[in-house]
Structure 1
């Protein structure tokens, strides 16, 4: 059974470092020293909301799966916050379909300009 907690309970929790990410509560106490971003990042958000910081850091799918092992409960549905959760394709860049494509994918303009400039430089060198 999933443990249901309030935000106030998470804030007051003693003896462990708990953070809230996407309405789930995680005990990051054992992970603080291993966190690649440094322990201060976790300690700043201890007892509170860390969803935005977690998403802004661009955590990998591996980091997200590791986080699931630290889950201790969920926030009561009456206190849920709706925050956008990034998926595994968070690195994918998508184009706006309404945006005009001003640059062709196979552009030969740059190599042609380089060749023309080189030929002109050779011509100038030999005849002047």
Structure 2
């Protein structure tokens, strides 16, 4: 992000609105996320549906991780001309499920901590019963 940064209008950014050419406006910055579409955990449709508007609220509502926010830097192409964005219009995208990988991993670990000892206990009891009957 040098001093010779490019400033785009919303109309210019809006022209990049497909799965083959996808630009987003987030926090006053313009990002070309085309190369990231296949890798986006929420799918490419989510990103493409956020084109042509200020996608800051969409980005914030999902609860992106610090790592996801840091990734934005590699897709940066310039700044948005704020005067081209209607401020009184509330842009909304379909609500995406909130996915917190840390919480999901924690849940799986707790579940395994409960089920593995239970399975071992069940196996021990089954072996004990089998050896007595044999």
Common fold by TM > 0.5: yes
Q: Secondary structure at the match of 1:69?
A: helix
Structure 1 residue 5 corresponds to structure 2 residue 34:
no
Q: Computing the radius of gyration over CA atoms, which structure comes out larger, 1 or 2? A: 1
Distance across 1 between alignment mates of 2:59 and 2:37: 14
Distance across 2 between alignment mates of 1:34 and 1:72: 19
Distance across 2 between alignment mates of 1:75 and 1:17: 15
* Per-residue Cα deviation, 1:14-54 (whole angstroms, up to 9, x for no partner): 76200111111100100000001111101111233211110
Superposition RMSD on alpha carbons, in Å? 2.0
Between stretches 38-47 and 57-66, larger displacement belongs to: 38-47
Find the counterpart in structure 2 of residue 48 from structure 1. 53
| Deviation at residue 70 of structure 1 after TM alignment | 0.4
Find the counterpart in structure 1 of residue 41 from structure 2. 36
> Which consecutive unaligned segments of at least 5 residues does structure 1 have?
83-128
> Which consecutive unaligned segments of at least 5 residues does structure 2 have?
88-134
Q: Secondary structure at the match of 1:45?
A: coil
1:33-112, aligned counterparts within 5 Å?
33-79=38-84
Contact 1:23–1:80 (Cα < 8 Å) also in 2: no
- Scaled by the length of structure 1, what TM-score is found? 0.57
Aligned residues: 82
Contact 1:22–1:81 (Cα < 8 Å) also in 2: no
Find the counterpart in structure 2 of residue 27 from structure 1. 32
Q: Tell me which protein shows more helix as a share of its residues.
A: 2
- Scaled by the length of structure 2, what TM-score is found? 0.55
